Every structure is written in structure tokens, then in C-alpha cells.
Amino acid sequence: MADNAHAAAAEHAAEGTGLVFHPMDQFKVQPLFGGGDVHWYSITNATLWLALTVLAVFAVMVLATRGRAVIPSRGQSVGELAYGFVYKMIEDVTGKDAIVYFPYIMTLFMFILMNNFLGLIPTSFANTAQIATTAILAFAVFFAVTIIGFVKHGSHFLGLFWVTSAPLAIRPVLAVIEVISYFVRPVSHSIRLAGNITAGHAVIKVFAAFAGLVALSPLAILGITAMYGLEMLVAFIQAYVFTILTCVYLKDALHPSH
């Protein structure tokens, strides 16, 4: 809806002033070499920034900690901070018995965090703005949580939907609501992340298009600066939200009774 409006406005503006709005072009997946169709194995801009994300995780978590110092260097402190942050989150939200899932949750957190921040580099590509990426992440969490729930508790896992603390009469109604909310989880989980990143990047791009007009450029640059600051916050918060929701879902799987 908003995109259609943008597109219409862009075309309209382009005719008169030379002002060109293409806020969504940054989300196109394109082959880096050659061009042509995007096959599943093609090296695309998405591939490049995924690789850079992995490198960034490697730099922060491995290179920065190579000193193994008791009194940490700055880089090592950042790595330890990330470690402690996620470790404590799992302990507090999910419980001590969920520590075995720590590497998986840490993978999610570091991957999303680094990708969000790399996506803020001008002309880069934000994989976390792609619904295909976030949907895979969210469904991976959804299926993992569901399978862990059934493996650990068998049919008792279905007690998650049967709210025993409510009066018997309204339990079926609650069960229907609970089931619906359970299956909506991966959808909201993935769209929240992709939507936030997409919106922020698109808004910055719109401001950037206005920077071409001399009269508006100071305002546009101010707007970009402000949005960039906000997006730095969003980049962290969305990684945090994705991770903590994963912990909450995992808690349901490990302790299905309310």
C-alpha cells in the first residue's frame, strides 16, 4: 500500500523535477557476477552480505577474544558482553535447563545483530529486511520449539493450550485462542524483524532522495542522521526482541504448564 503510493509519487516526481524515489531498490536480490537469473547457487548481493555477517561474527567473537586475557582488551570485552548478555537472557527468561540451547540462540542473536548493523552501511544489503530470511529464522525457531516440546513432554505438551487455571467452561474458547496465537507466532516473529528493518531503510532512502533538492538538502541530511541514529537502536532492539521471543517460546516448550 505504502509502496504503491511511493512508486506513484516517484514516477510523478521524476517527470517534473528529476527527483527519483526508489526506496525499495535496495532490497533487490541481484547476481554479483554476470547477471541474468538468480539461481539457488548464484553468488548474489545477499550472499555477499551473509558472508560479511559471518565474518563480522568471527571478528567479534573469535579474533577479538584470541588473547584469552583475564583482564580483557576492548574487543574481548565486547565479545564477553555479547556472551553474557545472551547467557543471562536464557537463564532469566527460559531457565537454567535451557543452557544447552545457548549456542543456537547465540547464533540467532549474533547473526541478526551483525546483519542488522552491516545493513546500515550505505549501499549495503540487509538480509534481515528480506521476508525469506526472517521467515526461515522464525520457522526454524517454531519447528525447533514444537519438536522439543513434544519430545520432552509428549502429549503433555498440548497442555500448553489447555489453561487449567481458567474455569472449565471457558477453557475450550481459550484453547482455540491459544492454538491460533501459537501458529501466528512464526508469522509475527518474522514480519516484525523484516518490517522494522525494511521500514527504517526505506525511510532513510526517501530522505536521501530529497537531499538532491538544494533547498531541502539540510533538512534531508538532518533527517537521515536522525533516522540513522534511530536505526542503530532498532538494529539492536530487533535482534534483542527476536532472541528474547525465542527464549519465551522455548520456555513454553520446556515448561508447558502455565
Within 180-209, the residues that bind other proteins by CB under 8 A are 194, 198
Window contacting other proteins (CB under 8 A); options: 63-71, 144-152, 154-162, 227-235: 63-71
Asked whether position 97 contacts other proteins by CB under 8 A, the answer is no
Q: Which residue has the cell 481459550?
A: 174
Asked whether position 123 contacts other proteins by CB under 8 A, the answer is no
Asked whether position 53 contacts other proteins by CB under 8 A, the answer is yes
Residue closer to other proteins by CB (options 73, 225) is 73
SS3 per residue for the chain? CHHHHHHHHHHHHHHHCCCCCCCCHHHCCCECCCCCCCCCCCCEHHHHHHHHHHHHHHHHHHHCCCCCCCCCCHHHHHHHHHHHHHHHHHHHHHCHHHHHHHHHHHHHHHHHHHHHHHHCCCCCCCHHHCHHHHHHHHHHHHHHHHHHHHHHHHHHHHHHHCCCCCCHHHHHHHHHHHHHHHHHHHHHHHHHHHHHHHHHHHHHHHHHHHCCCCCCHHHHHHHHHHHHHHHHHHHHHHHHHHHHHHHHHHHHHHCCCC
Asked whether position 164 contacts other proteins by CB under 8 A, the answer is no
Residue closer to other proteins by CB (options 5, 169) is 5
Asked whether position 25 contacts other proteins by CB under 8 A, the answer is yes
Residue closer to other proteins by CB (options 141, 227) is 141
Asked whether position 77 contacts other proteins by CB under 8 A, the answer is no
Q: 51 is written with which cell numbers?
A: 558472508
Asked whether position 50 contacts other proteins by CB under 8 A, the answer is yes
Asked whether position 147 contacts other proteins by CB under 8 A, the answer is no
**Which of 40, 74, 123, 168 is close enough to bind other proteins by CB under 8 A?**
40
Asked whether position 80 contacts other proteins by CB under 8 A, the answer is yes
Asked whether position 250 contacts other proteins by CB under 8 A, the answer is no
Amino acid found at 163: V
Total residues at interface with other proteins (CB under 8 A): 57
Residue closer to other proteins by CB (options 83, 162) is 83
What are the backbone dihedrals phi and psi of residue 31, each rounded to the nearest 5 degrees, phi first? Answer: -65, 140
Instruction: Round to the nearest angstrom and report the end-to-end CA distance of the chain.
Output: 40
Q: Which residues bind other proteins (CB under 8 A)?
A: 3-4, 6-7, 14, 18, 20, 22, 24-25, 27-29, 37-42, 44, 46-47, 50-51, 53-54, 57-58, 61-62, 65, 68-70, 72, 76, 79-80, 83-84, 102-104, 106-107, 110-111, 127, 129-133, 136-137, 194, 198
